[in-house]
Amino acid sequence: MIDPYLSDWLNLLARWFHIVVGAGWIGTSFYFNWLNNNIRPPKVDTGEGVKGEVWSVHGGGFYQVRKFQVSPGQLPETLHWFKYEAYFTWISGICLLTIVYYLGADRFLLDPSVSDISAGAGIGLGVGTLVVGWLVYDMMCRSPLHKQPVAFTVVGFLLTTAVAYGLSQFLSPRAAYIHVGALLGTCMALNVFFVIIPGQREMVDAMEAGKEPDPDGGRRGALRSLHNNYMTLPVLFIMVSNHYPITFGHEHAWAVLAAIALLGAGVRHWFNLRGKGKKNVWILPVAAVGIVSLAVVSAPEPIELPAEAVAFAEVHTIITQRCTPCHAQQPTHPSVVAPPKDVVLETPEEIARHASAIKTQSVDTRMMPLGNLTNMKDSERAVIAAWVEAGAKVDH
Ligand code: HEC
């Protein structure tokens, strides 16, 4: 196993980098989307082939952007491409996936209460999902299905949900989530690498050779761009939800994921419609009602509590055995070097202060103890629940 201190630093650096380049990628993608929605035909046709233009003001300067469809008559000296944001987001994402889930397989990738596959099998399943998932998606885009957006969306959605369900039978719930996110992210990045950029390259090459560019390359790229556009919000949700066990900790976490993906893509659709100047009054209210219903439906079920009142001493013993190996000023568990998330559960006061988080983590979502590495029993979870429900009192 990799040294936990080193692993934490690598984790932090990869995450930082991932967020920075990801923000760059999504920022440019939102910006170009906005441009396409706001570009209007020029008032005066200069005969240069300008299809649309837009004026904006930002940071103390005025900008005029002009769009040429399919191409400007002549290539400028410097043409800016947008691709490294996508590539680096993907590469850093894969690094992060490896650091957190593959090097820390026993803690984050696997969950003995889900299945007892080996770390190797879990990693194979994760990587296999990304590879096969991309191949299937790419095939769908090349098949006649792509001409039917509704059918394509339904099939894509069902397949993604099936992947979430399948993974949740073998991997920890959190790992199942992140792999669905990684699969969508992989499709987005490979769309850029294999289709969008080569299509643009063909157009540029044709122009350099003095030929009229084949609009087909541009059209294929536009389809993938549209898919990327719809995938952005669900992917961001999945990445952030990784820090919220209320989502992936649910018994049918894959269904929660499917619902959120649908809502996220729906909201994106509303933005796209609005951008085209089409009014839609029902998508946002439906999405809002949907999210509230989801929160209600997926709320943790009350568990059966022990009949008699629980003494704090009993809680203290359980926490000391099951949690404090990691959650201590000086953890004794080999997988951590410092108390995770700065949660220290040693003194009665510390335990009382974190009472509700303790219940969320160890009872409602069962995310703690991590990978159940300290073998916490269900009866012990019930004791914790009873103590917190009764007001989390510390008697001396
Ligand atoms: C094997 C080590 C380990 C054990 C044992 C363990 N934890 Fe944790 N705990 C972690 C790690 C690692 C994290 C940070 C997880 C992350 O990065 O999201 C964490 C996070 C937490 C958090 C903060 C969650 C958040 O996102 O803010 C709480 C609360 C918590 N644990 C409670 C407990 C309780 C209660 C127990 C015992 C029932 C327990 N832990 C046992 C390793 C452990």
Q: Is 268 touching ligand 1 by the criterion CB < 6 Å? A: no
Question: Ligand 1: distance of its center to the CA of 349 in Å?
Answer: 18
| Contacts of residue 91, Cβ cutoff 8 Å, sequence gap at least 6 | none
Question: Ligand 1: distance of its center to the CA of 217 in Å?
Answer: 49
- Closest among 267, 294, 283, 265 to 157, alpha carbons compared: 265
Going by pLDDT thresholds of 50, 70 and 90, the confidence category of residue 300 is confident
Confidence (pLDDT) at 37: 85
Q: Which residue has the tokens 């719809």?
A: 230
pLDDT digits (tens, 9 = 90+) for 75-125: 888 888 899 999 999 999 999 999 999 998 988 899 888 899 999 999 999
Confidence (pLDDT) at 372: 83
CA-based torsion, 307, 310, 314, 320: positive or negative: positive
The percentage of residues in the chain with a pLDDT greater than 70, rounded to a whole number, is: 99
Pocket test for ligand 1, best of 15, 320, 341 (most atoms within 8 A of CB): 341
Cis peptide before 70 (omega within 30 of 0): yes
| Largest interatomic CA distance in the chain | 87
Q: Is 339 touching ligand 1 by the criterion CB < 6 Å? A: no
Q: Is 4 touching ligand 1 by the criterion CB < 6 Å? A: no
Going by pLDDT thresholds of 50, 70 and 90, the confidence category of residue 261 is confident
Confidence (pLDDT) at 160: 96
Confidence (pLDDT) at 8: 86
Q: Relative to the CA of 245, which ligand 1 atom is closest?
A: 26
Q: Is 333 touching ligand 1 by the criterion CB < 6 Å? A: yes
| Contacts of residue 320, Cβ cutoff 8 Å, sequence gap at least 6 | 346
Q: Is 174 touching ligand 1 by the criterion CB < 6 Å? A: no
Q: Is 322 touching ligand 1 by the criterion CB < 6 Å? A: yes
d(CA 381, CA 369): 10
| Residues 242/174, Cβ–Cβ less than 8 Å | yes
CA-based torsion, 332, 335, 337, 343: positive or negative: negative
d(CA 126, CA 105): 11
pLDDT surpasses 80 at 4? no
d(CA 293, CA 299): 10
**Mean pLDDT, the chain, as a whole number?**
90
pLDDT digits (tens, 9 = 90+) for 132-156: 999 999 999 999 999 998 999 999 9
Pocket test for ligand 1, best of 241, 346, 368 (most atoms within 8 A of CB): 368
The whole-number average pLDDT for the span 39-59 is 87
Question: Ligand 1: distance of its center to the CA of 371 in Å?
Answer: 10
The whole-number average pLDDT for the span 3-18 is 90
Q: Whose CA is nearest to atom 25 of ligand 1?
A: 341
Q: Is 336 touching ligand 1 by the criterion CB < 6 Å? A: yes
Question: Ligand 1: distance of its center to the CA of 89 in Å?
Answer: 28
Question: Ligand 1: distance of its center to the CA of 237 in Å?
Answer: 22
- Closest among 187, 164, 162, 160 to 176, alpha carbons compared: 164
Q: Is 153 touching ligand 1 by the criterion CB < 6 Å? A: no
Q: Is 359 touching ligand 1 by the criterion CB < 6 Å? A: no
Distance of CA 256 to the CA centre of its chain: 13
Q: Whose CA is nearest to atom 19 of ligand 1?
A: 340
The whole-number average pLDDT for the span 310-332 is 94
Q: Is 377 touching ligand 1 by the criterion CB < 6 Å? A: no
Going by pLDDT thresholds of 50, 70 and 90, the confidence category of residue 65 is very high
- Closest among 335, 336, 355, 337 to 345, alpha carbons compared: 355
Which two three-digit tokens encode residue 343? 């949660």
d(CA 346, CA 320): 7
The whole-number average pLDDT for the span 232-254 is 88
Q: Whose CA is nearest to atom 32 of ligand 1?
A: 358
Pocket test for ligand 1, best of 326, 346, 351 (most atoms within 8 A of CB): 326
CA distances from 266 to 7, 132, 204, 237, 284 (A): 38, 26, 35, 13, 8
Give the HSE-up count for residue 294: Cα atoms under 13 Å, Cβ half-sphere. Answer: 23
- Closest among 189, 264, 220, 237 to 29, alpha carbons compared: 189
Who has greater pLDDT, 371 or 296?
Answer: 296
